[in-house]
């Protein structure tokens, strides 16, 4: 047996042993939100074996080897799924050595992987996890003279070094005002850069006899763009103005296989029917109701309501509250959408099962699903509620973070009599 075969066999054996030795759980007496047709289930019990949902129902018996989690009638839901962030890519945005969201002087674009920069031990990972987020999409940012931010990933928030679940999940593009600046000063230039890049990727490798033979992309970047150009992974495009989104719809008419997600979509309500007819997904922040830029003068609070009524496939983000760096307030933004008229089930799906499905995840609680779920002490969309238990892929997670550690260390009611600097 070669060294490579021996190593492969050892890794497979180790993985099988870990699955076999995974702690089983029994969650009792839950108000269970499944994000399925069974939603909700009162007084429900859940059996988790080998990291998967094995059985759900009322009056189940706990397996002898299972650790019991008493829900006591509290809400149990899928973990929150942050649909866009730069979580783990920066610690301090203005400090270059801690900011890996983009590379101003790089000669590459699409081929840059967010997963290569992700730090699972970053402070904001644990801070976000303790508020119910089990999974997140992470994306690099476009910099320099390219509209391409690179290739984004799906991560879980366990904080483990192997927490990148999908390293090549989508390609990120900036149009609108940001893309205009990067492309040279006009929206026409930004759109032409994107069209040319799509043609480069669809013609790859045929038109490349050298590394720089593409119209817009190098051979390396064209190779990385092929999956998105063929619709095998989403193409996420940042845009807010209604006319920019109409141009994106026209782009899909020309490149029919594209799986497009529009990020921002502040003026999407103006063209809701067109977006629904084009089967284009949108990712919006229901708090963005003020004209913060020239491309969002049409911002309004009921954007998400109008999109829902038109049948647009949408997810909710919290970009307006530093959510790009730390999406911890995701549930609050969905809750505010409910307060403004969106149905609870739809708002909760928009931060769980809907974006999870877009990126190849579950976001549901049903037999056979990975056990990534949260036990809450109240309605998860209520700002006063908090997680009391969490599992990610069947493993119990800590709800402690640097924030809670500092709170406890310097709490004035602490019985620790040492000077603060010695605690």
**261 within domain boundaries:** yes
| pLDDT given at position 21 | 62
The neighbouring-strand residues paired with 153 are 138
What is the distance between the alpha carbons of residues 354 and 347, in angstroms, rounded to a whole number? 10
What percent of the chain has a predicted confidence (pLDDT) above 90? 74
**375 within domain boundaries:** no
Whether residue 277 is found in the same domain as residue 336: yes
Whether residue 176 is found in the same domain as residue 66: no
Q: Which residue shows structure tokens 């989508």?
A: 170
pLDDT higher than 90, residue 320: no
Position 1 confidence tier, pLDDT thresholds 50, 70, 90? very low
Final residue of a structural domain among 344, 362, 380: 362
Please give the average per-residue pLDDT across 69-90, as a whole number.
Answer: 95
pLDDT higher than 90, residue 145: no
DSSP output for 347-414: HHHTTTHHHHHHTT---S--TTSB--EEEESS-TTSTT--EEEEEETTEE-----HHHHHHHHT-TT-
**374 within domain boundaries:** no
Whether residue 90 is found in the same domain as residue 233: yes
Position 4 confidence tier, pLDDT thresholds 50, 70, 90? very low
**353 within domain boundaries:** yes
Whether residue 177 is found in the same domain as residue 294: yes
**264 within domain boundaries:** yes
What is the distance between the alpha carbons of residues 195 and 218, in angstroms, rounded to a whole number? 15
124: domain CATH number?
Answer: 3.20.20.140
How many structural domains compose the chain? Answer: 2
**369 within domain boundaries:** no
Whether residue 124 is found in the same domain as residue 249: yes
Alpha carbons within 13 angstroms on the beta-carbon side of residue 112 total 27
What percent of the chain has a predicted confidence (pLDDT) above 70? 94
Q: How many CB atoms lie within 10 A of CB 417?
A: 6
Whether residue 108 is found in the same domain as residue 49: no
DSSP output for 260-318: EEEEE-TTGGGGHHHHHHTT-EEEE-TT--S--SGGGTT--TTHHHHHHHHT--EEE--
pLDDT higher than 90, residue 42: yes
Position 277 confidence tier, pLDDT thresholds 50, 70, 90? very high
Domain extent, residue 285, equals 80-362
Position 12 confidence tier, pLDDT thresholds 50, 70, 90? very low
Whether residue 73 is found in the same domain as residue 163: no
Whether residue 73 is found in the same domain as residue 91: no
pLDDT higher than 50, residue 24: yes
Structure tokens at 107: 């000669």
Final residue of a structural domain among 362, 378, 411: 362
Instruction: Choose the weakest-confidence range: 76-80, 288-292, 301-305.
Output: 288-292
- Convert the pLDDT of each residue in 173-199 to its tens digit: 999 999 999 999 999 999 999 999 999
**153 within domain boundaries:** yes
Whether residue 196 is found in the same domain as residue 321: yes
pLDDT higher than 70, residue 7: no
38: domain CATH number?
Answer: 2.30.40.10
Residues near 241 by Cβ (< 8 Å), separated by ≥ 6?
A: 176, 266, 267, 295, 296
Whether residue 46 is found in the same domain as residue 84: no
**148 within domain boundaries:** yes
Whether residue 118 is found in the same domain as residue 234: yes
Distance of alpha carbon 418 from the chain centroid: 42
Average pLDDT of the chain is 90
Whether residue 63 is found in the same domain as residue 186: no
């Amino acid at each position: 047996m070669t060294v490579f075969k021996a190593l492969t066999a050892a890794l497979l054996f180790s993985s099988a042993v870990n699955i076999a030795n995974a702690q089983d759980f029994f969650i009792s007496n839950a108000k269970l939100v499944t994000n399925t047709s069974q939603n909700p289930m009162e007084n429900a019990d859940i059996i988790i074996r080998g990291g998967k949902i094995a059985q759900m129902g009322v009056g189940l018996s706990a397996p002898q080897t299972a650790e019991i989690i008493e829900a006591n009638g509290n809400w149990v839901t899928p973990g929150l799924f942050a649909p866009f962030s730069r979580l783990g890519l920066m610690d301090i945005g203005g400090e270059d050595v801690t900011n890996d969201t983009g590379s101003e002087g790089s000669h590459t674009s699409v081929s840059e992987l967010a997963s290569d920069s992700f730090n699972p031990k970053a402070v904001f990972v644990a801070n976000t996890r303790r508020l119910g987020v089990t999974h997140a999409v992470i994306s690099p940012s476009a910099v320099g003279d390219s509209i391409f931010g690179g290739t984004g990933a799906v991560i879980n928030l366990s904080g483990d070094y192997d927490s990148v679940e999908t390293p090549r999940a989508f390609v990120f593009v900036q149009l609108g005002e940001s893309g205009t600046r990067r492309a040279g000063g006009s929206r026409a230039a930004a759109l032409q850069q994107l069209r040319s890049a799509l043609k480069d990727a669809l013609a790859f490798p045929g038109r490349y006899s050298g590394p720089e033979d593409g119209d817009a992309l190098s051979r390396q970047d064209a190779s990385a763009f092929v999956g998105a150009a063929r619709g095998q992974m989403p193409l996420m495009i940042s845009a807010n103005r209604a006319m920019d989104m109409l141009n994106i719809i026209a782009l899909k008419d020309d490149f029919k296989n594209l799986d497009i997600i529009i990020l921002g979509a502040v003026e999407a309500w103006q063209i809701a029917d067109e977006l629904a007819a084009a089967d284009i997904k949108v990712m919006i922040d229901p708090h963005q109701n003020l004209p913060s830029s020239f491309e969002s003068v049409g911002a309004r609070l009921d954007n998400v309501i109008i999109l829902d009524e038109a049948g647009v496939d949408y997810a909710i983000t919290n970009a307006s509250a530093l959510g790009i760096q730390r999406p911890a307030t995701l549930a609050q933004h969905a809750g505010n959408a409910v307060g403004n008229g969106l149905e609870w089930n739809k708002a909760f799906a928009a931060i769980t099962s809907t974006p999870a499905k877009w990126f190849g995840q579950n976001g549901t609680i049903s037999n056979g699903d990975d056990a990534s779920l949260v036990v809450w002490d109240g309605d998860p969309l209520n700002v006063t509620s908090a997680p009391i238990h969490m599992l990610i892929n069947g493993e119990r997670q800590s709800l402690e973070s640097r924030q809670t550690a500092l709170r406890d260390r310097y709490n004035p009611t602490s019985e620790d009599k040492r000077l603060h600097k010695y605690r």
